[in-house]
């Protein structure tokens, strides 16, 4: 767990225009001073991220919103009251002074107040807005542990990675665009559409062609280096057998309790810590994918997950991880 000293050092690094990684309840963020154009350039360079992709501004408290947004739409106010601090990002009309590097040149800005104690302590100590994409190189798996961040960025690029309890959500925040006539779900995450609808009094719309761009929704994203294939439960054993009979070494991620006893004939690197609860599955997903990515398998087979709202974010990330380009 980060000490008060380290939090103070991290805030100093941000003030000097440097980069700091910090844990949140979703995934690690790679933070930079959102009001410093040089710091933002450094951030985009470190991630290898195209300059026109917007980043989320993280705040210690919803009271700071007025510095970043022009108006607070009614839907935004309802969602803020219900879900902040927490795993929800709102896309709202930007205030005049917000840098183009933050918004990707759009008229909106993404804002979030996280609830992880280390994230909160850092934001409170820094005092301003912290622009923070997930702390991974562009397109790769997001990081949920300090060691994952270190594996992605060296000390010259990111001098300080704050330690903290592992995330209680484990996948990125839910993103809702409340800048238009209807609240629109841009990215499923820790808060489900049913939870949003209950607070809004109307269902959230699906994105359309005119919705703001959200590159986290690029087809291939959140991907391991090893090719990943999603296989329906009832076809999984046959698929493993045909690949291993062919001399392939496969890694497998199960969730069905029925596979707990499964011992394949040939070598299969397995990761079956997940037993069918969508929340613990999400919490472990990126750690699991990172470990399966390291076992020198020719392919990662993932047992397809159930339909339904509570698996939506996991299903979305797995589908993107499985895209081959
Ligand atoms: O859980 C999270 O949201 C994590 C933690 C660190 O807060 N952050 C995160 O950031 O996932 P990133 O940059 O990896 O993904 C943010 C997504 C991107 O797809 C970006 O395009 C979208 O949010 N986004 C940010 N500002 C936006 C805006 N003004 N309009 C539309 N999309 C926006
Ligand atoms: Mg990301």
Tokens representing 13 are 């690094």
DSSP string, 123-158: HHHH-S-EE--BSS-TTB----SHHHHHHHS-TTT-
User: Is the C-beta atom of 106 inside 6 A of ligand 1?
Assistant: yes
| 119 or 263, which is more confident | 119
Tokens representing 305 are 């997950």
Q: Among 54, 118, 183, name the best residue to mutate to test ligand 1's pocket (greatest count of ligand atoms within 8 A of Cβ).
A: 54
Do residues 89 and 173 make contact, with C-beta atoms less than 8 angstroms apart?
yes
Q: What pLDDT does residue 271 have?
A: 77
Q: What pLDDT does residue 272 have?
A: 73
Q: What is the DSSP letter of 65?
A: G
Q: What pLDDT does residue 318 have?
A: 95
Do residues 158 and 149 make contact, with C-beta atoms less than 8 angstroms apart?
yes
Q: What pLDDT does residue 215 have?
A: 53
Q: What is the DSSP letter of 206?
A: P
Of 40-49, 64-73, 82-91, 210-219, which gets the smallest average pLDDT?
210-219
Which atom of ligand 1 lies closest to the CA of 26? 1
| 268 or 216, which is more confident | 268
Which ligand neighbours the alpha carbon of 112 most closely? 1
- With CA atoms as reference, report the closest residue to 40 among 108, 112, 129: 129
Average pLDDT over residues 155-177: 97
Phi, psi at 257, each rounded to 5°: -55, -30
Chain mean position to CA 55: 12
Q: What pLDDT does residue 203 have?
A: 96
Q: What pLDDT does residue 270 have?
A: 77
Distance CA 305, CA 282 (A): 11
User: Is the C-beta atom of 136 inside 6 A of ligand 1?
Assistant: no
Q: What pLDDT does residue 213 have?
A: 59
DSSP string, 271-319: E----S-HHHHHHHHHHHHHHHTTS--SEEEEEPPPPSGGGHHHHHHHH
According to DSSP, the β-strands at 268-271 and 250-253 are: parallel
Q: What pLDDT does residue 209 have?
A: 66
Distance 251 CA to ligand 2 centre (A): 24
Do residues 229 and 299 make contact, with C-beta atoms less than 8 angstroms apart?
yes
Q: What is the mean pLDDT of the chain?
A: 93
Which atom of ligand 1 lies closest to the CA of 132? 6
Q: How many alpha carbons fall within 13 Å on the CB side of residue 138?
A: 13
User: Is the C-beta atom of 91 inside 6 A of ligand 1?
Assistant: yes
| 212 or 50, which is more confident | 50
Average pLDDT over residues 104-119: 97
Protein residue with least CA distance to atom 23, ligand 1: 214
Whether 311 has a pLDDT exceeding 90, the answer reads yes
Whether 186 has a pLDDT exceeding 80, the answer reads yes
Distance 2 CA to ligand 2 centre (A): 23
Distance CA 89, CA 78 (A): 13
Tokens representing 123 are 């934001």
Average pLDDT over residues 103-107: 95
pTM of the model: 0.95
**What share of the chain has pLDDT > 90, as a percent?**
83
Q: What pLDDT does residue 212 have?
A: 63
Which ligand neighbours the alpha carbon of 139 most closely? 2
Q: What pLDDT does residue 123 have?
A: 98
Residue carrying the six token digits 């592992």: 166
Average pLDDT over residues 140-153: 96
Contacts of 259 (CB under 8 A, 6+ apart): 236, 272, 303
Confidence band, pLDDT 50/70/90 cuts, at residue 303: very high
Protein residue with least CA distance to atom 19, ligand 1: 216
User: Is the C-beta atom of 89 inside 6 A of ligand 1?
Assistant: yes
Per-residue pLDDT tens digits for 152-162:
999 999 999 99
Per-residue pLDDT tens digits for 257-273:
888 777 766 667 777 76
Q: What pLDDT does residue 284 have?
A: 93
């Amino acid at each position: 767990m980060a000490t008060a000293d380290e939090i103070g050092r991290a805030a100093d690094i941000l003030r000097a225009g440097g980069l700091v990684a910090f844990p949140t309840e979703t995934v690690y963020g790679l933070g930079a001073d959102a009001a410093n154009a040089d710091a933002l350039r450094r951030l985009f360079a470190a991630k290898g991220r195209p300059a026109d992709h917007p980043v989320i501004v993280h705040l210690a408290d919803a009271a700071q919103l007025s510095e970043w947004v022009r108006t607070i739409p009614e839907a935004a106010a309802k969602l803020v009251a219900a879900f902040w601090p927490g795993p929800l990002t709102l896309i709202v009309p930007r205030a005049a002074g917000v840098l183009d590097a933050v918004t990707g040149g759009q008229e909106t800005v993404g804002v979030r107040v996280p609830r992880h104690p280390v994230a909160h302590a850092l934001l409170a100590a820094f005092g301003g807005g912290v622009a923070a994409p997930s702390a991974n190189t562009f397109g790769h798996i997001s990081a949920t542990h300090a060691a994952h961040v270190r594996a992605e960025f060296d000390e010259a690029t990111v001098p300080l990675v704050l330690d903290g309890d592992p995330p209680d959500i484990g996948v990125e925040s839910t993103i809702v665009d409340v800048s238009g006539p209807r609240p629109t779900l841009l990215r499923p995450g820790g808060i489900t559409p049913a939870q949003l609808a209950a607070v809004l009094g109307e269902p959230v719309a699906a994105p359309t062609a005119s919705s703001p761009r959200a590159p986290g929704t690029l087809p291939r994203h959140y991907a391991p280096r090893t090719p990943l294939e999603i296989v329906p439960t009832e076809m999984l054993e046959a698929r493993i057998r045909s690949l291993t009979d062919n001399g392939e070494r496969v890694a497998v991620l199960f969730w069905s309790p029925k596979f707990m006893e499964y011992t394949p004939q040939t070598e299969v690197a397995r990761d079956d810590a997940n037993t069918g609860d969508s929340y613990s599955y999400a919490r472990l997903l990126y750690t699991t994918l990172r470990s399966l990515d390291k076992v020198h398998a020719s392919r990662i087979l993932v047992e397809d997950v159930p339909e339904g709202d509570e698996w939506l974010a996991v299903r979305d990330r797995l589908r993107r991880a499985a895209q081959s380009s």
